[in-house]
Amino acid sequence: MGSIPNLYYRAISMDQLRAHPHFNGLPPVEKVPLYNTQSYRYIRQDNPLWDALHSGVLTTGILNGTLGFYEQGASKRLGIPWSMVSHAPLLTAYNRLQEPIYTPPLMQAPMHSTRRQPSIPSCMSSRKAPSRK
């Protein structure tokens, strides 16, 4: 037994998870129609496009750092554990917000339809919800 824990021991891979019948995963990024910014939510986090879409954008992942919650004075007043006190989250948020905003080329919505585009990609609508027994 080593002194460093193996975090990946018996970990389930995303491929194994997606193969499970009760797992309702996101479609591959190639199948997500980027008609508008609402479709960005269907991009998988393990895809490079997900990272690109977050550059230059204030997200909940950097919000605490942006507000300075992990700075020494604020963290003491907020009761944040000493182990989380650092200036790094603020610098990370600052650097992320300095990045240029990535805007992918949006697909043209079909012209033959006057209906609004659905907010759920068509490849997601064919999935069945798991039955509850």
Q: Quick one: pLDDT band at residue 52, thresholds 50, 70, 90?
A: very high
Sequence-separated (6 or more) residues with CB below 8 Å from residue 89: 62, 64, 65, 69, 70
Q: Are 79 and 60 in contact (CB under 8 A)?
A: no
Tokens of 104: 């992918």
pLDDT of residue 132: 52
What does pLDDT average to over the chain? 83
CB atoms within 10 A of CB 90: 18
Strand, helix or coil for residue 50: helix
pLDDT digits (tens, 9 = 90+) for 85-116: 999 999 999 999 999 998 888 766 665 545 45
Strand, helix or coil for residue 48: helix
Is this structure's pTM higher than 0.75? no
